[in-house]
Amino acid sequence: MKRMTGMKIFLYSIPVFAVACFSHHAYAQESTLMHFMNQSPQSLHTNPANLSNDVQWFMGIPVVGGIHLDANLDVSYSDLFRRTPDNIIRVKPSAVDKIGSSARLMLAVNDELFSFGFKVHPNHMITFSTSAVVDGSILLPGDAAKLFILGNTPGEPLNFGIDANLTGYLETALGYSFAINESWKAGARVKFLLGAANIYLHNMRATLDTDPMDYSMKLRMNAIARTSNVETLINDPRELLNRPFDNTGFAFDFGIHYKTPVEGLSVGLSAVDWGWINWRSELKFHEASLTNDEFIFAGLSSLDGHFEQIRDTLNNLFKLEERAGKPYRAPLPGKIYLSATYHLTPDDKFGFLFGTRAMDNFSRTTFTLMYNRSVGKWLSVSLGNNFMFTKILNPSMAINIRGGAFQFFLSAENISSISLNTVRTAGIHLGFNLTFNSKPQPVAVVEEEPSPRFYNR
């Protein structure tokens, strides 16, 4: 088998990944309803202070304890493409206007391979988990999209920059949650990270000018692109198992929860996945230069053979120089959550969640409103909506079912988008737990010692 070089991997990875996501409907967003489902131990993932009074100890069923898929696009498939009567998928002339100044793409997959937790005291819980994580973030500027969709136009300079961070790693987390008093709860998780592979393109800026007279092009670019283990991941991924500690890092989660003096109202604040991975193995550094100064690209007219179009265009337009790189540090996409919950009755509650995900030069912010209804100890159902700047209506639903010690949970985002052509966001989070001693623990009442009595003799 012909091995793929690091230069070609870098050449194709960013635009092919973006176009593939547009054309194969890989859209989603951060799952938010699980934050309020504190009957499930997985609610600790968005705020480690979400200590539940109902669970004494738990264990996630291996591999299927928690499967989480998130992704997000600023535009939908139907915003960019149309299908002709002869079944050819073509790019819409309005595609560039839909993308605007920039388009953000985020995709994350998290498989909780093993997890457990137990209370060492009615108000103190220790948790442990191991997860396989794939996370990708790409910022595609409008002018870069214009180049690939409409091509280069003489006399119209294109100014664009691309930021991307595609990472795969194994996460092992140790957490501690505790109640300080009746009003305050706090929690933290420390995560040890083993990096598998990374593509990190940070703050790349470029200007492309096409002369209207002779169609010659001038490119000014400061490209800082780094990769680690990408060739091995594609050509022989089992080799990575022989050197798991080459790329290591840490991340941290912190959270607090406050029960306000207002009856039924509580608020929470948390920071999740604030950390980094130090990349040291199979390092490559990439630089780009213009190879053909009289090249005209007509644009991406259709999706038929689009990967070949991108490959041929990049081969004709750019020359990538690859050399051995130096160790570097790439950050994880940190998240911040601010929540408020109001219990109308012991079984009915309303919630508000503000969530933002930060990655280098761009971020993603959502606002969530939800309603939760509990039916005894065996069923809990949540309905909500995520408000985003690119789309207002993103209804969601979550369910938590218990039968004895067995627990199943499912959260689905953007359930109104029946057609994959129009969906911009979607997501799913599901899993199976074994939970024990889930009855509320009685509050210990300490009787006061009787005061000494004195008797007259």
C-alpha distances in Å from residue 156, one per residue of 4, 8, 148, 218, 318: 35, 29, 15, 12, 19
C-alpha distances in Å from residue 29, one per residue of 104, 145, 347: 12, 22, 28
Average pLDDT over residues 325-351: 91
pLDDT, one tens digit per residue, over 112-139 is 999 999 999 888 999 999 999 998 887 7
Residue 441, pLDDT > 50, answer no
In DSSP notation, 415-454 reads TT---TTT--EEEEEEEEEEEE--SPPPPP-PPPPPPP--
Specify the CATH number for 6-436; select among 1.20.1260, 3.30.499, 2.40.160, 1.10.1160.
2.40.160
**pTM for this prediction:** 0.77
Average pLDDT over residues 25-49: 73
Q: What is the pLDDT of residue 444?
A: 43
> Is residue 314 a contact partner of residue 337, using CB atoms and an 8 Å limit?
no
C-alpha distances in Å from residue 354, one per residue of 275, 294, 335, 385, 451: 21, 50, 10, 12, 52
HSE-up of 397 (CA within 13 Å, CB side)?
5
What residues does each domain of the chain span? Answer: 6-436
Average pLDDT over residues 429-455: 58
Q: What is the pLDDT of residue 320?
A: 66
Q: What is the pLDDT of residue 213?
A: 74
Amino acid at site 147: L
Distance separating alpha carbons of residues 191 and 187, to the nearest angstrom:
14
Amino acid at site 232: T
pLDDT, one tens digit per residue, over 178-232 is 999 989 999 999 999 999 999 888 767 777 777 777 666 676 666 668 889 988 8
> Is residue 166 a contact partner of residue 17, using CB atoms and an 8 Å limit?
yes
Q: What is the pLDDT of residue 186?
A: 96
pLDDT, one tens digit per residue, over 78-116 is 777 777 787 777 777 677 676 665 666 777 888 899 999
> Is residue 401 a contact partner of residue 378, using CB atoms and an 8 Å limit?
yes
Amino acid at site 139: L
Distance separating alpha carbons of residues 266 and 263, to the nearest angstrom:
9
